Amino acid sequence: MKVCVLATHYVPAHKAGGPVPGIVGVVETMRDHDVHVLTADRDLGDTKPFPLPYRGTTAVDGVAVTYLRPLSASSLWQWGRAWRTVRRSDVVYFNSVMSLGFTIVPLLLLWVTRYRGRVAISPRGELAGSALRLGGSTQKQTWLRMMGRLGLHAHLGRSRVLWVASSVGECSDVLAIFDDAEVVTLPERLRSRHEVQRTSASLVNGLRVVAVGRLAPVKGHDDLLRALTKVQRPVEVQIVGVEEDPTHAAELHRLAAGAPGHVRVTFTGPQHPEEVDRSLAAAHLFVLLTHGENFGHAIGEALRAGCPVLISDQTPWSGVAEAGAGIVLNVAERRDPVAVARAVDSFAGLSDAEWQSWSEKAGAFMMGSEPTPTLLDALRAEPEPFEDGHPD
């Protein structure tokens, strides 16, 4: 079976955050099939393409990946070949709703040509209220209305469109816009990870905190930094992520500069996955006071690394509180610097033995996770079976 995966960003991209490892996780479940990934030839915000071998069409971890140059007159031939790949696939899997080149145009082409294969769409958080209010909100609403009027959200030719949500919350986001959509909730899979030795030092030397996420208002880094003025114990905070919103990033740097003497804040920018693993292995606590996550890969990565977490209740990971693997704050607590500082100080005041218990429970939380169905499992469960051979 031929499967075409369209993704705005794919490995070696890492600045886009969670969507990249999420897509990699899906691709890893389809290795028994003929999978072809179509993606951009550069990372989020970059003006230069990836270095070799990530050019043109190449094999990445045994999967064919085509890195497409920005759409222009000179690259039209490359995009034309890519769109033929889409058209000739049995399954087309979109990993965006709003991407012009990787969703909107190819989806319209499939509709016009009465595509006969199966279509799946993962919103990747783009249908959350916080995301829809960001830049270009008018254009986003126009496209969503167009999808609804043309029926693109529900069917293409003879085949229904399957929406793939990564959480119950994201399922609700889809249905809030398209109430007749066919939606399945499939928790995402974390990327394969090489074993990394924990390197966190004794808490006697201070609490090491790491926060991984784009420097954008939705991630809640500002709530953490405001709370640091109230923290009583020595804390070292590392913030990992691309400066997506320059104005907000400047505000974060201003807040960090106002931290008291016993608190040290560093901004390391985006890191490759292997570097993130090492940062998590060196940390005592992972913090993400997000305003909303459809999944939250960084949280899962932290837990898998044995790093307890301090998170908001706007993620699918609230079960860590009951499991003793982390602390979960509600919206009011997340906005309260005193409440956040109290949570940070509670970890900073642990003995090494007490922290080790938290760490073991964090790792056990991930070890106890049940295997989840795959995208192809979900498609096979639909009434319409796959047909032999690619569509005409």
pLDDT tens digits, one per residue of 350-359: 999 999 999 9
CB 227 within 8 A of CB 201: no
The verdict on whether omega for the bond into residue 12 sits within 30 degrees of 0, i.e. cis, is: yes
Dist CA 218 CA 292 (whole Å): 7
Q: Which residues of the chain have pLDDT under 70?
A: 191-196, 368-372, 382-392
Q: Determine the residue type at 105.
A: V
Structure tokens at 181: 């959509």
The answer to whether the Cα torsion of 206, 209, 215, 220 is positive or negative is negative
Instruction: State the residue for tokens 């860590």.
Output: 320
Domains of the chain: 2-189+372-380 (3.40.50.2000), 203-367 (3.40.50.2000)
Dist CA 208 CA 236 (whole Å): 5
Residue 75 CA, chain-centre distance (Å), reads: 28
Dist CA 171 CA 184 (whole Å): 7
What is the CB neighbour count within 10 angstroms for residue 176? 11
Dist CA 29 CA 88 (whole Å): 21
Backbone angles phi, psi at 19, to 5 degrees: -55, -35
What is residue 192's predicted lDDT score, i.e. its pLDDT? 60
| Plot region of 157 (φ>0 → left; ψ -120 to 50 → alpha; else → beta) | left
Structure tokens at 178: 């398209």
What is residue 386's predicted lDDT score, i.e. its pLDDT? 44
Q: What is the pTM of this model?
A: 0.77
Dist CA 328 CA 313 (whole Å): 6
Dist CA 101 CA 95 (whole Å): 12
Query: What mean pLDDT value characterizes the chain?
Result: 89
Dist CA 40 CA 33 (whole Å): 22
Name which of 16, 36, 31, 24 is nearest 83 in CA terms.
36
